[in-house]
């Protein structure tokens, strides 16, 4: 008897557990069928929903039901992306998204030439996963703005002055050629000087000095010989850096146009989940779908 009872209650418990899952899934299904994205989001992460939207700290037991749909996240993400990207289009008009595989989205910053791949959009969690390197460059260039500098200003200046020096080296070839002729004359004179014992070291020193100068000039000649190529390479480096500065400038301008400054932009990113879900709530409460 007891065994049977135990058996029965075990069955009840399991039935209930299965019922909970079925209930979860059918609620989710109904939400999708009714296009109720807000409820889909609530079902996907109830803890977060209650914390950020309901602002209740009610410690609801974690039911792990959301794990049921873990392996269909790509489809869920694909489904939810329609409305989310619509919304983002208004708030972040400078971001462009590309669904590179079902439910996964690359973020591109801007529509200018060679715009940067800026990270991924996590649709299910309503979150930007920005590329760290790219994001830091942008952050840094906002910081540098206060000093009226661009990210690559210093580097470009350094390379430019390097090129200028190389150009001077090339221009001074005839001056060096004259110097070399003179020094060789001096070397000749030096070697013809009578080598009295008391003069020997003086003459040797003099000779060493001339040889040193000639070596120095030969070094410069060699640099000048390669200068043309080096300047061209520097031009290419400067182009890459100016291009990056230009892109960063467009990015900064876009952020200023939409958010006034970088801090507001970051604040918006922080509250994106809450802002988006509240906008969905607003829509359903308003009853009328605004299509602005």
Partner 1 sequence: MINENDPSTLTTSGRLLNYNEAIKSGLETGLTFTKLMDQLIKTHDADELVAAATQLADFKLDSDYVTFPHQYSNADYYLLFMSRMLELHDQGKHVMVQSRDHHEELTQQLTPLGDRGTFSFRVETSENGGVFYRERATGQSLFYLNLERKMFRFNSHALTQLFIIDLHDTVPADTVKASVQILVDFARYLKEDYGYSVDFNVLDAANQQNYAVRSADLPAGVVDRLFVAAAKNDYMLTNGVNGNGAQIQLDKNVVVDIFNNQLEGQPEWVLTVHDDDQKVSWFDILLRYPFMRDWYLENLDDLEIVSDPLIFS
Question: SS3 of 220, please?
Answer: helix
Q: Which is nearer to partner 1, 134 or 245 (CB)?
A: 245
Measured CA distances, 115 to 111, 139, 142, 249 (Å): 6, 17, 18, 12
Give me the least distance between CB of 183 and partner 1, in Å please.
41
Q: Which is nearer to partner 1, 112 or 172 (CB)?
A: 112
Q: Which is nearer to partner 1, 199 or 236 (CB)?
A: 236
- 21-29, Cβ contacts within 8 angstroms, sequence gap of 24 or more: 21/65, 21/68, 24/65, 24/68, 25/68, 25/69, 28/69
Give me the least distance between CB of 147 and partner 1, in Å please.
21
CA distance 263 to 145: 14
CA distance 207 to 186: 9
Q: Which is nearer to partner 1, 39 or 254 (CB)?
A: 254
Give me the least distance between CB of 19 and partner 1, in Å please.
50
Q: Which is nearer to partner 1, 179 or 249 (CB)?
A: 249
For partner 1, the binding residues (CB under 8 A) are 111-115, 236, 239-240, 242-243, 246, 249-250
Give me the least distance between CB of 88 and partner 1, in Å please.
19
Q: What is the DSSP letter of 50?
A: I
Total Cβ atoms within 10 A of residue 269: 14
Give me the least distance between CB of 75 and partner 1, in Å please.
26
Contact partners, residue 203, CB within 8 Å, separation at least 6: 190, 193, 195
Q: Which is nearer to partner 1, 15 or 111 (CB)?
A: 111
Lateral strand order in the sheet of 95-101 = 95-101, 104-109, 116-122, 127-130
Give me the least distance between CB of 79 and partner 1, in Å please.
25
């Amino acid at each position: 008897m007891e065994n049977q009872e135990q058996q029965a209650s075990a069955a009840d418990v399991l039935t209930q557990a299965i019922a909970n899952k079925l209930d979860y899934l059918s609620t989710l299904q109904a939400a999708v069928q009714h296009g109720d994205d807000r409820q889909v989001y609530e079902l996907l992460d109830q803890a977060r929903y209650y914390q950020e939207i309901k602002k209740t700290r009610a410690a609801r037991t974690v039911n792990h039901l959301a794990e049921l749909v873990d392996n269909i996240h790509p489809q869920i993400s694909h489904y939810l992306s329609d409305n989310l990207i619509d919304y983002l289009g208004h708030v972040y008009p400078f971001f462009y998204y590309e669904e590179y595989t079902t439910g996964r989205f690359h973020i591109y910053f801007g529509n200018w030439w060679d715009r940067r791949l800026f990270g991924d959009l996590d649709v299910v969690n309503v979150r930007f996963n920005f590329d760290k390197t790219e994001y830091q460059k942008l952050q840094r260039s906002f910081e540098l703005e206060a000093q009226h500098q661009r990210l690559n200003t210093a580097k470009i200046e350094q390379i430019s002055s390097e090129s200028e020096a190389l150009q001077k080296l090339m221009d001074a070839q005839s001056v060096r050629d004259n110097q070399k002729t003179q020094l060789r004359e001096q070397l000749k004179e030096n070697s013809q000087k009578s080598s009295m014992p008391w003069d020997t070291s003086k003459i040797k020193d003099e000779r060493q000095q001339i040889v040193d100068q000639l070596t120095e000039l030969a070094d410069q000649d060699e640099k000048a010989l390669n200068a043309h190529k080096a300047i061209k390479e520097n031009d290419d480096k400067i182009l890459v850096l100016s291009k990056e500065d230009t892109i960063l400038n467009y990015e900064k301008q876009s952020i200023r146009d939409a958010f006034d400054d970088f801090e507001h932009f970051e604040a918006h990113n922080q509250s994106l989940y809450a802002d988006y879900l509240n906008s969905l709530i607003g829509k359903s409460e308003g009853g009328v779908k605004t299509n602005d």
